[in-house]
Amino acid sequence: MRTILLLLLSVVGMSKTIAQTYRIGAKHFNEGYILGELIAQIIESEGYKVERKFNLGGTAVCFEALRNQAIDVYPEYTGSLAEEILKSKESLDHQQLNNKLRIEMGLEISPSFGFNNTYAIATKKDFAVKYDLQTISDLRQLPSLSLAFSYEFLERQDGWANLKSSYQLGFTPVGIEHGLAYQALMNGSIDMTDVYSTDGEITKYDLKVLKDDLNFFPDYQAVAVYNASLDTRIKKIISRLESTITEEEMQSMNAQVVFENESFYVVARNFLIDKGLVEDSMVTEERSVLSEVVSKSITHLWLCGIALMTAILVAVPLGVLLYFFSGISRPVLYFVGLLQTIPSIALLALMIPLFGIGIFPAIVALFLYALLPILRNTTTGLYSVDPVLKKVATGMGMNAWQQLRWVELPLAMPSLLAGIRTAAVITIGTATLAAFIGAGGLGEFIVTGLALNNIQLILQGAIPAAILAILIEMLFEGFEHLLLPKHLRKN
Amino acid sequence: MSKTAIHLDNISLRFGSQALFTNLTLDIEDKKITAIQGRSGSGKSSLLQVINGLIQPDQGSVFHFGEQMNYHNIYKTRMNIGYAVQQVGLFPHLTVYENITLPGRLAHWTPEENDTRARELMALVSLDEHHKQKYPHQISGGEQQRVGICRSIFLNPRILLLDESFSSLDEETKEEIHTEVIKLQQMEPRCIVMVTHDPKEAGKLGDHRIKLDQGQLYHMQS
């Protein structure tokens, strides 16, 4: 099974190398997308083909993807590389970081894009004025404080625990989802929270960012990270972004996307044109929504198709085997049923350490999900064949194989087809989650839409996925008409 | 002396703790209809299944035309024995024609051979050609039973076993089918062993009548 998949994937992989497409990854958040677009468009402006592999879960997923050659470049922050990837205890400057990455991992980083997106502590302006707060050290004079921090900030090495001891602060914070922290801050539920220094909300809500007077937070310079073996021409093109973006400019780009519903593509293009980094006409046209929906639907169907086909090829013979050896049937069905109970997002996450990111692990996960309905319906269908018919078949002199071919399988067919149909619909639905591990498909719209709280984007993925599910249902109804006489059809 | 088609030699069969037959020996004459009567549970059906090897007796041997049954190559033996049961057992996913010709397809007959034989048999049991493309549930019970008989003797077996084949039919249809069976026996005489609980049917069709009671056989006057 795996061999077939690998074969299919390698065919796809080959077509990629021939076309010399550069695959740009991006982390699953606002700024990640914008920086990904900037890199993608500046490469495209030189006539190279680019494939966007945005929506990758987080630093770990992006990094795995890069090391497994599933992507060629993605935007990252120097601090994250030092802390999360190299697990470095001391701070590293750009040069040291680049050397360490090259030696230890065969990776390189571009020059900094110019801004520092570090953690910062923010509060409302009137609160800062009231207590005369300028720096984080100023917090020591406050008797009490209602603090809420993102869960990540509470956990990280460069997060709360060490900040607290460095500044000798005595407060006890609670955890909060980063997206909700601004609302909580503005309606007065909390006094202070952690922010990223380039968040668009800082300008929008006119927040006060406290100065990190002890230089606790490491530098989070935005850079591009790529394999050292990347074409030097591409590296040169990316380095043209060096020192072109200020913190305010990044805040403004973020705000355009989050508050003005501008697309990443347009925000990035306008920025590049304003800075004279690309000529207006040289940037390829943004693809229409329709063509994107179509191309993502095709990827989606492709993912589901391979997973389903493989599942049929495995589950039907296995179902027949279980029918003949009914002793092992129960344990096997229990085991496959157990797979079904793993939440899809967890199953997808479990695939990463085994198979990395991208299409292959997604197909494996979808395959595992499709197994149970097909397997169970195959065996149930075979078991429910009328014993009289089996007796007659034996009496006619049919051997086991002939009985299977002429009597049992045809009579189990309605149940078997129903199982495949269920599996197909489950697969179409579950495949929308595969975007989290970079498999693409309609889920990309949904995942991006969720990250931006953009209903239109979510629907752009959800509606075609629902239509696909209905079309698949109809397709299978067609199969049933072809394969089964009317009185044996289930509906 | 007439020819023996089936010889059961010292057969014993038990189901769990219950002995169905003990040391049972029987000769069944070729080209005649032998009717086995008995109450339900007397083991009539099991006896038929011992004859075609669906059941292997605990002790004793089965001979067809002097040849001992070889359970390792049972498929070939079974193909030479027609077998029709009360529930008919037509395959619902196959048309009437496909049901009738299935034994021919399994025996790798050519389509022409299948077609000739099917026409011949359908005419013999008065089955309308119109029914060919219908599915079993679309024809009457009597017609289904005729299809079942056509299928069981498709390969022209030398032995035909009828297991209460007509007992679920109404009297009128039963009469008709009895006539067909007699006609069939005149056209293609073979060894027929039929099991029935109906003494009238046994009397009408049976050249020989045997009663099975408590695992013992009693030959009756025919």
pLDDT tens sequence across A233-254: 999 999 999 999 998 899 899 8
Highest mean pLDDT among A52-56, A269-273, A340-344: A269-273
Would you say residue B83 has pLDDT above 50?
yes
Q: Is B56 on the interface with A (CB under 8 A)?
A: no
pLDDT of residue A18: 42
Say which residue, A457 or A470, is predicted with more confidence: A470
Percent of the residues in chain B that have a pLDDT greater than 70, as a whole number: 99
Query: Which residue in A169, A178, A125 sits closest to A151, CA to CA?
Result: A178
Q: Provide the whole-model pTM.
A: 0.68
- Mean pLDDT value of segment A420-431: 92
Q: Do B52 and A398 touch (CB under 8 A)?
A: no
pLDDT mean across residues, chain B: 90
- Predicted confidence band of residue B59 (pLDDT cuts 50, 70, 90): very high
Interface of B with A in 134-193 (CB under 8 A): 135, 137, 151
* Highest mean pLDDT: which range of A203-217, A276-290, A344-358, A414-428: A414-428
Distance CA A131, CA A126 (A): 9
B72 shares contact with chain A (CB less than 8 Å): no
Whether residue B21 has pLDDT greater than 80: yes
Confidence of residue A491 (pLDDT cuts 50, 70, 90): low
The partner residue sitting opposite B135, judged by closest CB among A388, A392, A485, is A485
DSSP letter at B139 equals S
Lowest mean pLDDT among A56-65, A262-271, A300-309, B209-218: A56-65
Contact B76 A397 (CB under 8 A): yes
Band (pLDDT 50/70/90 cuts) for residue A112 is: very high
- pLDDT confidence of residue A456: 83
Query: Nearest CA to CA, how far is B107 from chain A (Å)?
Result: 10
Name which of B2-6, B144-148, B213-217 the model is least confident about.
B213-217
pLDDT for residue A286? 56
Whether the per-residue pLDDT at A90 is higher than 80: the answer is no
Residues in B closer than 8 angstroms to A391, CB to CB, are 54, 85, 89
- A&B contacts, CB < 8 Å: 59
Closest CB from A391, A398, A410 relative to B93: A410
pLDDT of residue A64 exceeding 60, the answer is yes
Residues A256-296: tens digit of each pLDDT: 888 887 888 889 999 999 888 887 754 455 567 888 899 89
- Per-residue pLDDT tens digits for A353-387: 788 777 888 999 999 999 999 999 999 999 999 99
Nearest CA in chain A to B157: A396
Residue B190, pLDDT > 70, answer: yes
Contact B83 A399 (CB under 8 A): no
pLDDT band at B158 (very low <50, low <70, confident <90, very high): very high
The average pLDDT across A198-223 equals 87
pLDDT, position B222: 55
Asked whether the predicted pLDDT for residue B182 surpasses 70, the reply is yes
pLDDT at A19 over 60: no
Q: Across the interface, do B102 and A487 touch by the CB < 8 Å criterion?
A: no
> How distant is the Cα of B211 from the closest Cα of chain A, in angstroms?
24
Query: Once rounded to an integer, what is the mean pLDDT over residues B79-104?
Result: 92
More confident: A150 or A18 = A150
Task: Please indicate whether residue A316 or residue A45 has the higher confidence score (pLDDT).
Answer: A316
| pLDDT attached to residue A14 | 42
pLDDT at B105: 94
| pLDDT mean across residues, chain A | 86
